[in-house]
Structure 1
Amino acid sequence: MFRRIVLFFMLFGSCFVVRAGASPSGGPQSPATPAAVDSLSLPADTPVRRRSFVGRIIDYFGKSAVDRTFEKKIDLTFAGGPNYSKTNNFGIGVLAAGLYRIDRTDSLVPPSDVSVFATVSISGFYSVGVEGNTYFRRSRSKMDYQAMFVSAPRDLWGIGYCDARRNPETSYVEKQYKVHARYVYRVLPHTYVGSRLSFQHTDGTKFDAAGDSYIRHQKHSYTLTGIGAIVEYDSRDFIPGPWRGLYASLEGTIFPKALGSCETTLYRATFTFDWYQRVWKDCTLAFDFYGEFNSAAAPWPMLARMGGSRRMRGYYEGRYTDNCLLTVQLELRQRIWRRFGCTVWGGAGNVFSERSGDRFDWSHTLPNYGVGLRWEFKKRVNVRVDYGFGRKTSGFLLSINEAF
């Protein structure tokens, strides 16, 4: 939910894409237009009419969907404006999205990407951060990273499926600093090994008596530093919005007691399997399976949270939370016209732990489905608006890049 991207993008997209997409490349019109020909016959002292403010914005967003990473060190596009979400209410945000290449002579390597964002809302939510993916020369290695600060009023129901279903909600304020970086090196075609470093500090404030009992009277503040190992297979053609390829990743992380504020050393294992296939013109079928498994002694900020902008969209992020999480989703993505597209998806998820009474139970599996619209903000980088449905819940989401 800390990646709510501004509604301004979609509003501008709907207004400007008709004009900006008039040429096949999405760039400006060919100079051989009637207006250009007529201007050649005008007297030398005839004043040249400047483009209006709206016209310049049209040109700006029209050029943003063209890959200029071979011409520029970094191809940046800026946008900003109002936003709205069911969780955070009305707000305002800004975004800078960029594409670049470490080696601009190599067209076989996909462009690297970076996004810088900030948003604030009238509910008291605010966040600022940066994230991205970098391909090094000849794709011999790659790195992804994220750094952000979030302050958010949050609702809380407890830990585990049963608490989430029967407890009345309470609220608290969560402030979180989060940094992670992953670096992997190719050892076989599309096969990488590497490491991960992460740091997370969480402060929970304004808990009431029910809130303290919901987190089982744990501390309100925790610091976690993680060191991990990664093995993955990645043949995706472009990470922010794949059209084809396979991604499988197994990641193990240890959180040493000496590098945090927990009373014991903790562990986490995650597994991701994503598959993408073009099924007909401008249509991609995407499949995602994700599993997260945390130590039984994991504190409340470290627990897996169902919901958010990537998986189980439409559920309040954190209502269903526990040591372990499994989710699966299948999504059909179709380009409709020029820079506009749509999507439909379905899936399911389950939270559980090894505690007595909270083990995996098929009857606790929650459904998920929804529809969405896409606008190509930059070349193959989409702004997305999704509306997801679940069991007795639904939610509206704005974000950038595909969910998976």
Structure 2
Amino acid sequence: MSYKLYKSLFLLLVISSFTSVNAQNIDKLKEFFTFYPNKKAVEKDSTLYLQKFIAAPVMSYAPETNFAFGTGAKYLFKFNGSGEETRVSNMPMTLQYTLNNQFFLYSGFEVFTNQEEWVIEGNLLFQNYPRLYYGIGSDTKKEAEEQYDYYQFLIEPIFLKQLFHRYLFIGAGFRYNSIFKTEIEPNGLIATNRPEGFDGSTSVGAEFAVLFDSRSNILNAQDGWYLEFTHGLYDKVLGGTQKFNLTRIDLRHYIDVSKENDDILGLHIAGQTSRGNLPFSEYSFFGGSDIMRGYKEGRFVDRDMFATQMEYRKNFKDSRLGLVGFIGAGDVYHNIDQFQFKNLKPNYGVGARFSIDKKENLNLRLDYGFGKNTSGFYLSIAEAF
């Protein structure tokens, strides 16, 4: 058994021991970090949703970052006038610094207006993120690993209107992605390959988006479908450094397979394809904590990507603890028409869960994933998908 696996199992035992002894104090601890902005208004009008602002110290781990420490905040709310037909809006924010001398400020938000007439979603990211580089393609060598550093600022708001169906939203937005202050190894692999935009780039594009989202719970879905399709057109006329187009698809389905314990089977397909004068920052990066766990993020890189995963989430009645098993496959391609089943790279793994907010169904997540000749563990809050 590898040292990394021993380390992850030890961490799991520590967390399990702590939570089993102190489970009765978790709610008290959560309340200490929770603020209720409209508490007085709710006391006067019980039809209002009790908004929550949760801010607390956070710790995470991924092979790409090592341990990360910082502050996490989450604002859960509904606009006044919204009833049960409107799902809870989620505006998270994370600021962390890692033992690999990285920092990142990130928010991936999803806001529902009254009666869900509109959905406002998107991403906000600012980071100094040293990344590992192995070359471009699906057959790069692990021994070629080298590090390059850069700063990144990304903003991507998308506005979608409910049309034709209760859970169907159609709209548009824009995406700005700037890579700057890059540092590479002199005479290294990336300096030799010199992919487009390796020394910095700015992508500015208009996006068309379609969203179908019938999940009853946004933080940890237990049923329903989620399909998001975006197609972006990027051009120098808009202020970018390259002209290209980028298409992304994210499909998820959740099945409640055990009514007694609320066991969930989750299915996930993710894909990205692009054409044109693509900067390196917009390539598809294979691996990470959300899909293809077990591979370091960016272990394989190319223009197009396809990946899928299946996860069984085992819950125990009247307990905060849960177990997960997952399996998946995927690959990167210069052109997606090169796809072949026999060349798919596999991954699989197991994980443990601890509920830190039973009402909102929010979990602490510890996973150990295996890929082809690689593995890694992940510690974070909320599910992989």
Question: Structure 2 vs 1, CA of residues 171 and 278 (structure 1 numbering), >3 Å: closer, same or farther?
Answer: same
Q: What code does the residue aligned with 1:366 have? A: K
**Given the alignment, which residue of 267, 289, 295 partners 1:287?**
267
User: How far apart, CA to CA, are the structure 1 residues paired with 2:227 and 2:262?
Assistant: 24
CA-CA distance at 1:97 after TM superposition: 1.9
Looking at structure 1, the residues matched to 124 and 199 of structure 2 have their Cα atoms a distance apart, in angstroms, of: 22
Matches within 5 A, 1:288-327: 288-327=268-307
Matched residue, 1:187:
163
AA partner of residue 236 (structure 2): K
1:47 is matched with which residue?
Answer: none
Change (3 A) 1:381 1:351: same
- TM alignment of 1:68-147, pairs within 5 A: 74-80=51-57, 82-103=59-80, 106-147=83-124
Report the counterpart of residue 42 of structure 1 in structure 2.
Answer: none
Rg larger in structure: 1
Give 2:39's aligned residue: none
Q: Match for 2:102: what amino acid?
A: F
Task: Give the match's secondary structure for 2:95.
Answer: strand
SS of structure 2 residue aligned to 1:138: helix
Q: 1:19 and 1:172, CA in 2 relative to 1: closer, same or farther beyond 3 A?
A: closer
Q: In the alignment, which residue of structure 1 is the partner of 2:32?
A: 60
Q: How far apart, in 1, do the equivalents of 2:128 and 2:35 lie?
A: 35
Task: Tell me: CA distance 1:63–1:166, structure 2 relative to 1, closer, same or farther (3 Å).
Answer: closer
Deviation at 1:301, TM superposition (A): 0.7
Cα distance change on mapping 1:257 and 1:331 into 2, 3 Å = same
Q: Which residue is equivalent to 1:30?
A: none
Closer/same/farther in 2, CA of residues 261 and 231 from structure 1, 3 Å limit: closer
How far apart are residue 103 of structure 1 and its match? 3.3
CA distance in 2, matches of 1:166, 1:62: 44
User: Which of 383, 386, 398 is the matching residue for 2:364?
Assistant: 383
Task: Select which of 228, 238, 252 maps to 2:207.
Answer: 228
Q: Note if 1:249 corresponds to 2:225.
A: no
- Alignment-derived partner of residue 15 in structure 1: 18
1:152 aligns with 2:124: no
Q: How far apart, CA to CA, are the structure 2 residues paired with 1:216 and 1:19? A: 52
Instruction: Identify the match of residue 177 of structure 1 among 131, 153, 177.
Output: 153
Offset at residue 88 of structure 1 (A): 2.3
Structure 2 residue 252 is matched with structure 1 residue 274 = yes
1:297/1:247 CA distance change after superposition, 3 Å:
same
Mark the CA change 1:17 to 1:62 in structure 2 (over 3 Å): closer, same or farther. farther
Shift of 1:317: 0.5
Deviation, structure 1 residue 78: 2.3
**Residue in 2 that maps onto 1:393:** 374
In the TM superposition, residue 215 of structure 1 has moved relative to its aligned partner by 4.0
Q: Distance in 1 between matches of 2:321 and 2:106?
A: 27
Aligned Cα root-mean-square deviation (Å): 3.0
Shift of 1:261: 3.8
Q: Distance between the aligned counterparts of 1:144 and 1:17, measured in 2?
A: 37
Shift of residue 84, structure 1, vs aligned partner = 4.0
TM-superposed CA distance for 1:254, in Å, is 0.6
Q: What corresponds to 1:45 in structure 2? A: none
C-alpha distance in 2 between matches for 1:105 and 1:184 = 18
Shift in alpha-carbon separation, 1:129–1:59, aligned structure 2, 3 A: closer
Please state whether the residue corresponding to 1:179 is helix, strand or coil.
strand
Q: For residues 192 and 71 of structure 1, do their structure 2 counterparts lie closer, same or farther at Cα, with a shift above 3 Å needed?
A: closer
2:67–2:98 Cα contact (<8 Å) kept: yes
> For residues 215 and 242 of structure 1, do their structure 2 counterparts lie closer, same or farther at Cα, with a shift above 3 Å needed?
farther
Query: In structure 2, how many angstroms separate the alpha carbons of the residues matched to 1:16 and 1:59?
Result: 16
Which residue in 2 is equivalent to 1:213?
Answer: 192
Contact 1:125–1:153 under 8 Å retained in 2 = yes
Provide the C-alpha distance between the structure 2 equivalents of 1:241 and 1:167, rounded to a whole number of angstroms: 38
- Aligned partner of 2:54: which letter? T
For the 8 Å contact 2:221–2:254, the answer to whether it is kept is yes
Say which SS state the counterpart of residue 161 (structure 1) adopts: coil
- Match of 1:158, SS state, is coil
1:350 and 2:327 aligned: no
Shift of 1:74: 2.7
Alignment deviations for residues 300-336 of structure 1 (CA, whole Å, 9 cap, x no partner): 1110111112111121111211110001111111223
Count of residues in Structure 1 that have an aligned counterpart in Structure 2? 359
Identity %: 24
User: 1:211 is paired with a residue of what secondary structure?
Assistant: helix
Report the counterpart of residue 6 of structure 2 in structure 1: none
CA distance in 2, matches of 1:266, 1:315: 28
**Structure 2 CA distance for aligned equivalents of residues 224 and 73 of structure 1:** 39
Contact 2:234–2:240 (8 Å) recurs in 1: no
In 2, the alpha carbon distance for the partners of 1:21 and 1:214 equals 56
Distance 1:396 1:70 in 2: 43
Residue 14 and residue 284 in structure 1: after superposition, are their counterparts in 2 closer, same or farther (change >3 A)?
same
Instruction: Note closer, same or farther for the CA distance 1:231–1:81 as it changes in structure 2 (3 Å cut).
Output: closer
Per the alignment, do residues 266 and 217 of structure 1 end up closer, same or farther by CA in structure 2, a change over 3 Å counting?
Answer: closer
- The answer for unaligned runs of 5 or more in structure 2 is 1-10, 37-41
Contact 1:21 1:339 in 2 (8 A): no
| Cα deviation, residue 82, structure 1 | 4.8
TM-score in terms of structure 2 length: 0.84
